[in-house]
Structure 1
Amino acid sequence: MRMIATSLAAAFLIAPVVAPIAAFAGPACTAEAKDKWMTEDAMKAKVTEMGYQKIKTFKVSGSCYEIYGYTKDGKKAEVYFNPVSGAVVKSEID
């Protein structure tokens, strides 16, 4: 019984540290294997076709392609894309 109480106490102490980290994790964009993903070059072309410009960062983030750049209107953009379809999964536009 004492072991269970110790485990519960540890869980309550760790939860406040782990929960904020989980909140910063990016979205889940796909469950498909990476061999099903668009190539980075194909995704970069699609991003350009969608009007994003001045891309400062293009990277793989978890199960997503992620960019930091600007919209066609010149607003800052952080965008997560489904790497299989190229669809926007989440965006933050300033």
Structure 2
Amino acid sequence: MKPVIVLSLAVVAAVGSLPAIAGPKCTDAPRSQWLPEATMQARILKAGYTIDKFKVSGQCYEIYGQDKAGNRVEIYFDPTDGRIVKQRDDD
């Protein structure tokens, strides 16, 4: 019986951590209120970033690329206003 309890606790812990794995919550706004992807990409490029990969991640726009200094970055943007919600630098 003990292995079943331990396994159950492990499953509960794993499921409870899913939001942290999935990324930040950027907005609750419907997609009809999001900036078009092309507009968002243009803003990101204008800010000096290079985009290697652009994607929709949950309720966010997310990029993998480089900043002005050439450092690798992973950035989550609010798709309604373009603000940075979370950023990770991969120096």
* TM-score, with length taken from structure 1: 0.81
Question: Max radius of gyration: which structure?
Answer: 1
Which ranges in structure 2 are unaligned for 5 or more consecutive residues?
none
- What's the counterpart of residue 64 of structure 1? 60
State the match for 2:46 in structure 1. 49
Q: Which amino acid aligns with 1:23?
A: A
Q: Is the aligned partner of 1:26 residue 2:26?
A: no
1:77 paired residue among 70, 73, 82: 73
Report the AA paired with residue 59 of structure 2: S
SS of match in other structure, 1:24: helix
Q: 5+ unaligned residues in a row in structure 1: which ranges?
A: 1-8
Counterpart residue identity of residue 49, structure 1: K
The percent identity for this pair of structures is 41
Q: Given the alignment, which residue of 36, 40, 62 partners 1:39? A: 36
Alpha-carbon separation, structure 1, partners of 2:41 and 2:29: 19
